[in-house]
Amino acid sequence: MSRSILVTGGAGFIGSQVCKALAQAGFTPIAYDTLEKGHAWSVKWGPLEQGDIGDRSRLDAAFARHKPEAIIHLAGYIEVGESMREPERYRHNNIDKSLALIKAAEAHGVGHFVFSSTCAVYGTPKRPLLDESHSFGPVSVYGETKLAVEKALRARARKIRSVCLRYFNAAGADPDGEIGEAHEPESHLMPLAIDAMLGVGKPLSVFGDDWDTPDGTCVRDYVHVADLADAHVRALDYVAKGGAAPAFNLGSGHGYSVKQLIETTGRLGGKPVPHSVGARRPGDPPKLVADTTLVRRELGWSPSRDLDAQIADAIRWRRKMPR
């Protein structure tokens, strides 16, 4: 019998790619998702269980039916700006409901857990590269909710073995073109730049070009969603073998500026990206780049797709995606 893994948020951008990677590794991914933000069309590699992680009876039924041996928990709200406008809605969905999921896992004896966290737990960087020992200091409610769940998992370490994966900027699309990012509304830079270039979105707004960075625009660390998915499969194995590190950064270790991303998108898409420069956005650190030493050593993981590959896959996807 194939081994089942419960993937919460499995109909979302990253979760659906994780489901594909799990299926390729011989697991049966069970996508557990409300479909509030995710899409039924992106669930292709195992069953869809439509439900809320806060709904204990729905969860109990899914555990009983599929008997998962582990949980990969990606479900949550993801918008930094929205989290500042609606903090209680974010705390309820991301913290309270994650705690309910952890309780359900304990009750069903599922002791292996991989959690989608974020580099936003670190807040404003104190060093050029962020490693996992950097102090915590989230500046958004979103980051605060992720840190709260990390701490809750650490407090239950005797019952649940877990690892938290702190993603930097997830980007790209499935290299085979089967699935990709389809957020509504979209707020991530790469899809917005591509849509502007394709003429299906508004001209891109750049939040400031007077930062203390080489070209004045913010620098971020982008990692291909298929590389991220691969890291989850490795993380499951790591947890099963009793790996000790509580968290890993998932980034490339390289920073690219907003200007570089705009130029690369124009070059690969064959048309310039219409854009204008506006004011800085409060709370944006000028530079966020991962130190990936730990994840390379412990999981043997390193991203294999560079910014060009990410943008090329994302352009191909956005030309054909359901809108």
As measured in angstroms, the least distance from the Cβ of 22 to ligand NAD is 15
The nearer residue to ligand NAD, 34 or 217, going by C-beta atoms, is: 34
Q: Does 53 bind ligand NAD (CB under 6 A)?
A: yes
- The residue from 14, 43, 62, 164 that contacts ligand NAD (CB under 6 A) is 14
Q: Does 15 bind ligand NAD (CB under 6 A)?
A: yes
Stretch that binds ligand NAD, among 10-18, 19-27, 206-214, 257-265 (CB under 6 A): 10-18
97-107 helix and 56-66 helix, angle to the nearest 10 degrees? 40
Q: Does 97 bind ligand NAD (CB under 6 A)?
A: yes
Catalytic residues: 142
- The residue from 46, 68, 76, 266 that contacts ligand NAD (CB under 6 A) is 76
The nearer residue to ligand NAD, 36 or 210, going by C-beta atoms, is: 36
Burial 250-259 (b: 16+ CB within 10 A, else e): bbbbebbbbb
As measured in angstroms, the least distance from the Cβ of 30 to ligand NAD is 12
Question: Quick one: which of 268, 169, 265, 176 has its CA closest to 223?
Answer: 169
As measured in angstroms, the least distance from the Cβ of 54 to ligand NAD is 6
Residues with Cβ within 8 Å of 249's Cβ and at least 6 positions away in sequence, in order, are 119, 130, 131, 132, 166, 168, 290, 291, 292, 294, 295
Three-class SS state of 219: strand
The nearer residue to ligand NAD, 270 or 322, going by C-beta atoms, is: 322
The CA-based dihedral angle spanning residues 192, 194, 199, 205, taken in that order and rounded to the nearest 10 degrees: 40
Three-class SS state of 135: coil
Q: Does 116 bind ligand NAD (CB under 6 A)?
A: yes
Q: Does 143 bind ligand NAD (CB under 6 A)?
A: no
Phi-psi region of 199 (alpha: psi -120 to 50; beta: other; left: phi over 0): left
Q: Does 252 bind ligand NAD (CB under 6 A)?
A: no
As measured in angstroms, the least distance from the Cβ of 222 to ligand NAD is 9
- Token pair 């409610």 in the structure block, residue: 141
Stretch that binds ligand NAD, among 7-15, 60-68, 204-212, 284-292 (CB under 6 A): 7-15
225-240 helix and 13-24 helix, angle to the nearest 10 degrees? 60
Q: Does 95 bind ligand NAD (CB under 6 A)?
A: no
Question: Quick one: which of 31, 36, 28 has its CA closest to 11?
Answer: 31
Q: Which of residues 149-168 bind ligand NAD (CB under 6 A)?
A: 167
Say if residues 21 and 88 touch (Cβ distance below 8 Å): no
Residues that bind ligand NAD (CB under 6 A): 8-9, 11-15, 33-38, 52-54, 74-76, 78, 93, 97, 116, 118, 167, 169-170, 183
